[in-house]
Amino acid sequence: MPTASRLIAALLMAGTGIILALELRELRDSLRFYPFFIEFNALLGAVIGWKLVGARVGHGWARAAATGISGGFVTLILVVFGLAFREMLNRSFRKFYDHALEAILAAVKIGITDLLAISATAMILPVIMGAVLSGLGAEAAERRWR
């Protein structure tokens, strides 16, 4: 059922997805020419905000912030490993791998490398802040418009 908390969480997590997309573009130069990359991340963030964050608020501010962080983490994992899977498919079409298991392991390795590169820098802080704000914003909307 559509509620104000789900709408606010979807909008704020979409913003978090856009921030994540812009940071990933700084990390990898090949993403600068990827069509609809920012829009895809915004849509993914909105869906996670609607389904995960907006549905689990209403139990206090601390739990709302934790829900926002979990939504941001899910968004980060899905975006990074989706990009790793895309990179693996591009390499496999160029006959880079001999077996399917080698390709899957390479996708996991690419994803883990990108996650470590993001978490080692200060790039993760805006994503965490956006995720916390989405949880708190959804909690505020839940309290205001029941």
Please choose, from the candidates 27, 13, 28, the residue with its C-alpha nearest in 3D space to the C-alpha of residue 73.
Answer: 13
pTM for the model stands at 0.85
Instruction: Give the pLDDT of residue 8.
Output: 93
- What pLDDT digit, counting tens, does each position of 53-88 carry? 888 888 889 999 999 999 999 998 988 888 888 888
Residue 132 has pLDDT above 90, yes or no: yes
What's the whole-number average pLDDT of the chain?
Answer: 88
What pLDDT, on the 0 to 100 scale, is given for residue 136?
Answer: 93
